[in-house]
């Protein structure tokens, strides 16, 4: 299933695209998102067993700011967190909206003296699960299945980001 700007491409088992108007097949995009969320929930769930803390945020509260020392890898438990970049001209670029089972703070993992390179702001009342990087790294080394889960999460995250960049380049 590929959801484009003008419609939806459905792929059969042989990967032959079949184009249908978006309005006729909205139920496919809803089902696709539901499956996506269920898959991500199942991949994220084991990370709640790693020692960490729950952080509650009110709407418009900062989870972290660009330049802050990076200490935590975050899993969104509820709500919506916007990842943004401010530029010197005063413009603010909204890079992504992270929802339930999404991740934040993935870039500084395994780096020396990491800092956050974006701002993360709650767009709704939200709750995140925060795991300190050294703790997460230890658990990933001890539990290979957890490392595989993280690779699957990061792979899905990268796939979505690449799709967004592709659509931006192709469709403006």
Q: State pLDDT tens for residues 3-61.
A: 333 333 333 333 444 433 333 333 334 344 544 778 888 999 999 999 999 999 999 99
pLDDT exceeds cutoff 50 at 165: yes
Measured CA to CA, the distance from residue 97 to residue 84 in angstroms comes to 9
Lowest-pLDDT range of 26-40, 60-74, 109-123 = 26-40
Phi, psi at 167, each rounded to 5°: -65, -35
The strand ranges marked E within the chain are 2-3, 7-11, 17-21, 53-57, 62-64, 72-78, 81-86, 92-98, 103-104, 119-122, 126-132
Proportion of the chain above pLDDT 70, given as a percent: 78
pLDDT exceeds cutoff 50 at 163: yes
User: With bands split at pLDDT 50, 70 and 90, how would you rate the model's confidence at 67?
Assistant: very high
| pLDDT tens per residue, range 123-142 | 999 999 999 999 999 999 99
């Amino acid at each position: 299933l590929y959801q484009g700007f003008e419609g939806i491409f459905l792929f059969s088992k042989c990967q032959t695209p079949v184009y249908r108007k978006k309005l006729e097949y909205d139920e496919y995009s809803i089902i696709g998102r539901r499956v996506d969320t269920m898959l991500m929930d199942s991949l994220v769930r084991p990370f709640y067993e790693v020692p960490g803390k729950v952080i509650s945020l009110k709407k418009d509260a900062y989870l972290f700011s660009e330049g802050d020392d990076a200490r935590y890898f975050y899993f969104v438990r509820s709500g919506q967190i916007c990842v943004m970049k401010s530029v010197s001209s005063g413009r603010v670029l909204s890079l992504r909206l992270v929802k339930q089972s999404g991740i934040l703070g993935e870039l500084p993992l395994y780096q020396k003296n990491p800092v956050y390179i974006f701002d993360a702001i709650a767009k709704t009342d939200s709750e995140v699960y925060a795991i300190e990087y050294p703790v997460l790294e230890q658990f990933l080394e001890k539990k290979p299945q957890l490392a595989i889960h993280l690779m699957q999460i990061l792979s899905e995250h990268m796939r979505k980001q690449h799709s967004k960049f592709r659509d931006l380049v192709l469709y403006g």
